[in-house]
Structure 1
Amino acid sequence: MKTVITTENAPTPAAPLSQGIRKGPILQVSGQLPFDPATGAVVGTTVAEQTTQTLRNVTAVLKAAGAGPKDVVMLRAYLTDPAHLPELNEAYAAAIGEPFPARTTVYMQLPPGLLVEIDALAVLDD
């Protein structure tokens, strides 16, 4: 059985998707963007600022499912420009901490003003 995870502490998706889905011990957090969940506004103009807010949103969905960053086994980061990787890495390391989960970074086009999107896969202890 799948359980839909929702929280008002992360942005409400504008697309037909769930903030998160849990099946058994596996939790998939949908791609989060750097939106303030209260206002819907983009937080920050730099990759570091947007990464920090995006990871806050990921963490909010994890928390709503009874998980946390230490339960994450895989993160995928989507950037608009390869030149942003060092700034992403710095903000990411500060927010996530060691031991780091596995990660993939993909470069793609995001809507105007958005520089980063991040999703997460977590495994929870039941």
Structure 2
Amino acid sequence: MEKKMIQTDQAPKAIGPYSQAIQVGNLVFTSGQLPVDPGTGEMIVNDIQAETRQCLNNVEAILIAAGTSLKNAVKLTVFIKDMNQFSKINEVYAEFFPEDKPARSCVEVARLPKDANIEIEAVAMIL
């Protein structure tokens, strides 16, 4: 099976030596997405719901570039700095997944790149 690098300017550029996503067969694996606005390069801060929304928009943009979408996501991983924000994150998350919810893990971590409060990655199918 061949692997293919996925790249789009509709999501933030990678800040290190990695791809925005890799496609293998009919699966797409995104790298973790921070709450960075791809148009300005600025990170959204101090509003966990806006941060969550931007992370999911970034993941969605990458999946669209790969020929799929969040509707075909099978697994997301959410990394957060403060588990006390879990319910606020879930409110926004539910907007993106009103039905057919993918599997998910949510992990509190000590620190994220750029001192972000949240980072989200996904695995999705290309149908």
TM-score, length-scaled by structure 2: 0.94
Q: Runs of 4+ in structure 1 displaced over 4 angstroms?
A: none
Q: Give 1:1-126 correspondences, 5 Å limit.
A: 1-108=2-109, 109-111=111-113, 114-125=116-127
**Offset, 1:113:** 5.0
Separation in 2, partners of 1:112, 1:14: 10
Partners of 1:32 and 1:57 within 8 A in 2: yes
- Displacement of 1:45 after TM fit? 1.9
- C-alpha distance in structure 1 between counterparts of 2:33 and 2:57, whole Å: 9
Question: Whole-Å Cα distance in 1 between the matches of residues 97 and 51 of structure 2?
Answer: 14
Structure 1 window deviating more from structure 2 (109-118 vs 45-54): it is: 109-118
Counterpart code for 1:75: L
Task: Give unmatched runs, 5+ long, in structure 1.
Answer: none
Structure 1 position 96, deviation (Å): 2.6
User: Does the aligned pair in 2 maintain the 1:48–1:88 contact within 8 Å?
Assistant: yes
Q: Do the aligned partners of 1:78 and 1:116 also contact (CA within 8 Å) in 2?
A: yes
Letter in 1 for 2:112: L
Q: Output the CA distance in 2 between the equivalents of 1:20 and 1:113.
A: 22
Q: By how many angstroms is 1:116 displaced?
A: 0.6
Equivalent position SS for 1:34: coil
SS for the counterpart of 1:73 is strand
Q: CA deviation at 1:123?
A: 1.5
CA RMSD of aligned residues (A): 1.2
C-alpha displacement at 1:70, in angstroms?
Answer: 1.1
Kept after mapping to 1: 8 A contact 2:45/2:116? no
* Aligned-partner Cα distance in 1 for 2:30–2:14: 12
- Three-state SS of the structure 2 residue aligned to 1:98 is coil
CA–CA distance in structure 1, aligned partners of residues 7 and 29 of structure 2: 12
Structure 2 segments unaligned to the other structure (5+ residues):
none
For the 8 Å contact 1:21–1:28, the answer to whether it is kept is yes
* TM-score w.r.t. length of structure 1: 0.94
